[in-house]
Structure 1
Amino acid sequence: MLTLLTSMYMVVRAISPQAEPIRVVVTGAAGQIAYSLLFSIAKGDVFGKDQPIILILLDIPPMLPVLDGVVMELQDCALPLLREVIPTDKVEVGFKDIDAAILVGSMPRKEGMERKDLLKANVAIFKTQGQALDKYAKKTVKVLVVGNPANTNCLIASKSAPSIPKENFSCLTRLDHNRACSQVAMRCGVSSDKVKNVIIWGNHSSTQYPDVHHAKVNVSGSEVSAYDAVKNDAWLRGDFISTVQLRGAAVIKARKLSSAMSAAKAICDHMRDIWFGTKEGEFISMGVYAAGNSYGIPEDLIYSFPIQIKNKTWKVVDGLPINDFSRAKMDATAAELVEERDTAMDFLSQ
Structure 2
Amino acid sequence: MLGPNQPVILHLLDIEPAKDALMGVQMELMDAALPLLQGVHTFTSVEQASVGVDVAIMVGGVPRKPGEERKDVMAKNSAVVLGALEIIMCTIIPTFGVSQSNRVLLAAANTNAWVLKENSPGIPAENITCLTRLDHNRAIAQVGERAGVHSTAVKNVIIWGNHSSTQFPDVSHGSVAGQPIKARLQGDSWLEEGFISTVQQRGAAILKARGLSSALSAASSVCDHVRDWMLGTPKGSWVSMGVVSDGSYGITPGLVFSYPVRCCGGKWSIVQGLQLDEPSLNRLRTTEQELLEEREMALASAGVR
TM-score over 0.5 for the pair: yes
Structure 1 residues 192-219: Cα deviation after superposition (integer angstroms, max 9, x where no partner)? 111110000000000000000101111x
Tell me which residue corresponds to 1:165: 124
Q: Any gaps of 5 or more consecutive residues in structure 2? A: none
Relative to the length of structure 1, the TM-score reads 0.81
Local SS of the residue matching 1:107: coil
The match for 2:158 among 199, 223, 226 is 199
CA distance 1:116–1:311, shift in 2 (3 Å): closer
Q: How do 1:55-204 and structure 2 match up within 5 A?
A: 55-110=10-65, 118-137=73-92, 138-139=95-96, 140=100, 141-147=102-108, 150-204=109-163
CA distance 1:276–1:113, shift in 2 (3 Å): closer
1:325 aligns with 2:279: yes
Structure 1 residue 115 displacement after superposition: 6.7
Structure 2 distance, partners of 1:112, 1:239, is 20
Tell me which residue corresponds to 1:240: 195
Local SS of the residue matching 2:41: strand
What is the total number of aligned residue pairs between the two structures?
298
1:51 aligns with 2:11: no
Structure 1 residues 7-63: Cα deviation after superposition (integer angstroms, max 9, x where no partner)? xxxxxxxxxxxxxxxxxxxxxxxxxxxxxxxxxxxxxxx112222211111111100
Tell me which residue corresponds to 1:29: none
Equivalent pair of 2:66/2:208 in contact (CA under 8 Å): no
Q: Any gaps of 5 or more consecutive residues in structure 1? A: 1-45
CA distance 1:112–1:273, shift in 2 (3 Å): closer
Structure 1 residue 307 displacement after superposition: 0.5
Equivalent pair of 1:196/1:216 in contact (CA under 8 Å): yes
User: Cα RMSD (Å) of the superposition?
Assistant: 1.8
CA distance 1:338–1:69, shift in 2 (3 Å): same
Equivalent pair of 1:184/1:230 in contact (CA under 8 Å): no
Structure 1 residues 114-151: Cα deviation after superposition (integer angstroms, max 9, x where no partner)? 9766222211211233443332122132111113xx10
Structure 1 residues 217-241: Cα deviation after superposition (integer angstroms, max 9, x where no partner)? 11xxxx2211100123522112110
Structure 2 distance, partners of 1:307, 1:118, is 28
Structure 1 distance, partners of 2:71, 2:160, is 23
Larger CA deviation: 65-74 vs 103-112: 103-112
Displaced runs of 4+ in structure 1, greater than 6 A? 111-117
Kindly indicate whether structure 1 or structure 2 has the higher relative contact order, using CA contacts under 8 Å at least 6 residues apart: 2
1:291 aligns with 2:250: no
Equivalent pair of 2:63/2:213 in contact (CA under 8 Å): no
Structure with the greater alpha carbon radius of gyration: 1
Local SS of the residue matching 1:345: helix
Local SS of the residue matching 2:42: strand
CA distance 1:80–1:193, shift in 2 (3 Å): closer
Structure 1 residue 282 displacement after superposition: 0.7
Equivalent pair of 1:130/1:159 in contact (CA under 8 Å): no
CA distance 1:299–1:227, shift in 2 (3 Å): same
1:311 aligns with 2:268: no
Structure 1 distance, partners of 2:176, 2:128, is 31
Identity of aligned residues (%): 47
Structure 1 distance, partners of 2:158, 2:223, is 18
Structure 1 distance, partners of 2:241, 2:105, is 10
1:338 aligns with 2:283: no
Structure 1 residue 158 displacement after superposition: 1.7
Local SS of the residue matching 2:250: coil
Structure 2 distance, partners of 1:349, 1:269, is 31
Larger CA deviation: 232-241 vs 51-60: 232-241
